[in-house]
């Protein structure tokens, strides 16, 4: 079986059946444009994750939080990338070669705001007018799901938000 993956933002579906095994990760991404403003959201599903995949996820989660902690007014954008890189170098140096050159980007009028690429060379300061939204609906890496067959797995954060939303009355 020859598998074809197209992870470009403008990729289209094909007629191939979704295939996975115990080493698979399924990445689902969707974006939209409304009156020239862009949005994008992605979710990753780890199917019956191996211990090495689980470790990679845990390290990525820590790196993600380290990057977010550096996104403060006046700090250089590159500081966020360096913070994420430092976590991976310390906790899983074997994964450093797999990192992309960017840890993220701004989104708004461009699908990927060219002036706000979170990488090692962007020395622009983060400004007070930049918006970083974290609400109960911003799930970040909490939206990566570990799926084990015949077993229901929730993180504490997922279970808490699931319980709260189910008990609300409108």
For residue 136, what are the domain limits? 25-163
Report the C-alpha gap between 18 and 16 in whole angstroms.
6
The verdict on residue 13 lying in a domain is no
Strand partners, 38: 33
Close Cβ partners of 1 (under 8 Å, ≥ 6 residues apart) = 19
Asked whether the CA dihedral 25, 6, 43, 83 is positive or negative, the reply is positive
**What local confidence, expressed as pLDDT, does residue 152 receive?**
46
The verdict on residue 79 lying in a domain is yes
The verdict on residue 159 lying in a domain is yes
Tokens representing 167 are 């008990």
Q: Write the burial class of residue 9 (CB in 10 Å: 0-12 exposed, 13-18 middle, 19+ buried).
A: exposed
* Helix H or strand E segment including 104: strand 102-106
The verdict on residue 19 lying in a domain is no
The verdict on residue 169 lying in a domain is no
The yes-or-no verdict on residue 9 having pLDDT over 50 is: yes
pLDDT digits (tens, 9 = 90+) for 36-81: 887 777 788 887 888 888 898 899 889 989 988 888 888 898 999 9
Count of domains observed in the chain = 1
CATH code at position 114? 3.90.230.10
The verdict on residue 14 lying in a domain is no
Q: Which residue has the higher pLDDT, 143 or 25?
A: 25
pLDDT bucket at 132, cuts 50 / 70 / 90: low
Q: Which residue has the higher pLDDT, 141 or 75?
A: 75
The verdict on residue 55 lying in a domain is yes
Contact 114, 108 (CB under 8 A): no
The yes-or-no verdict on residue 90 having pLDDT over 90 is: yes
Average pLDDT, the chain: 72
Lowest-confidence pick of 81-85, 107-111, 134-138 = 134-138
Q: In degrees rounded to 5, what are phi and psi of residue 44?
A: -120, 135
Report the C-alpha gap between 62 and 85 in whole angstroms.
10
Contact 44, 27 (CB under 8 A): yes
**What local confidence, expressed as pLDDT, does residue 129 receive?**
58
Report the C-alpha gap between 157 and 115 in whole angstroms.
33
The verdict on residue 6 lying in a domain is no
């Amino acid at each position: 079986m020859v598998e074809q993956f197209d992870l470009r933002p403008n990729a289209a579906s094909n007629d191939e059946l979704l295939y996975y095994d115990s080493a698979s990760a399924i990445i689902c991404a969707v974006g939209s444009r409304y009156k020239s403003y862009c949005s994008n959201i992605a979710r990753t599903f780890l199917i019956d994750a191996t211990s090495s995949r689980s470790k990679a996820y845990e390290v990525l989660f820590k790196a993600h939080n380290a990057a977010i902690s550096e996104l403060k007014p006046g700090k250089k954008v590159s500081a966020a990338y360096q913070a994420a890189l430092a976590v991976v170098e310390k906790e899983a140096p074997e994964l450093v070669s797999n990192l992309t050159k960017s840890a993220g980007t701004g989104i708004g009028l461009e699908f990927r705001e060219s002036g706000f690429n979170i990488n090692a060379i962007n020395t622009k300061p983060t400004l007070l007018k930049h918006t970083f939204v974290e609400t109960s609906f911003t799930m970040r890496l909490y939206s990566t799901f570990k799926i084990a067959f015949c077993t229901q797995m929730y993180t504490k954060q997922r279970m808490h938000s699931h319980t709260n939303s189910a008990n609300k009355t409108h």
